Chain A
């Protein structure tokens, strides 16, 4: 069983839609990361959070430590948001990654 599970695996949306990606984990963590990976392969850190909620522009990330669950929301989605979004948990020295959610936003 994967230690970090994401859903959905694939997501398509029309421009302007509100998007939610979910992440559940089963291990102890010190923090949770949301990352973005573009088709070229590069990985960019979007958020690191250990409690509550963070907002950056149109992106919002929340975490519920008791339920071991986090969500990434994108408001007013845009085609440039198309990417793979990855949840990763910080466990001791390492990050444990989810399998990613492939998001495609169409104009």
Chain B
């Protein structure tokens, strides 16, 4: 069964460094998402992406964050200058379509630790 994959599974970085989290969505999916979950808290929406554009973003997704689909398979989340509070599990998800007919399929997550 097709699945969403994410690399790396765990990333440790120093505060102020740039990180890129990578995701390979399911191949026929058109909508892509990033969510994050700070330890012990609920999952929060960061951004949705469709047709090479951001379609919606949350207040969390500020200028330090960017997303890109550099080729036909990868979907990346970049954090330009990491802060301690960026430490979280980051989940990528993808779906065929949006709205009421849509199921989002989640990747296994990347645990980001900022020291």
Contacts and interface: CB of A to CB of B under 8 A. Distances in A.
A43 B103 contact: no
B56 A90 contact: no
Does more than half of chain B's interface fall in helix, strand or loop, or is it mixed? strand
B100 A90 contact: yes
A58 to B, nearest CB: 20
Given A41-B111, A93-B56, A31 B100 contact: yes
Interface stretch (B12-20, B41-49, B62-70, B73-81): B41-49
A43 B100 contact: no
Nearest to A91: B45
Given A43-B43, A88-B43, A97-B42, A31 B108 contact: no
Contacts of B105: 45
Interface string B77-115: 000000000000101000000111011111011010000
A98 B43 CA distance: 8
A98 B56 contact: no
Interface in B20-42: 31, 33, 35, 37, 41-42
A50 B43 CA distance: 21
A96 B43 CA distance: 8
A30 interface: yes
A107 interface: no
Nearest to B50: A93
Given A93-B31, A93-B55, 4 more contacts: A41-B37, A90-B100, A90-B102, A95-B45
24 contacts: A30-B99, A30-B100, A31-B100, A33-B103, A33-B104, A41-B111, A42-B106, A42-B109, A43-B106, A45-B106, A48-B103, A50-B100, A86-B42, A90-B100, A92-B56, A93-B48, A93-B55, A93-B98, A94-B33, A94-B56, A97-B43, A97-B45, A98-B42, A100-B42
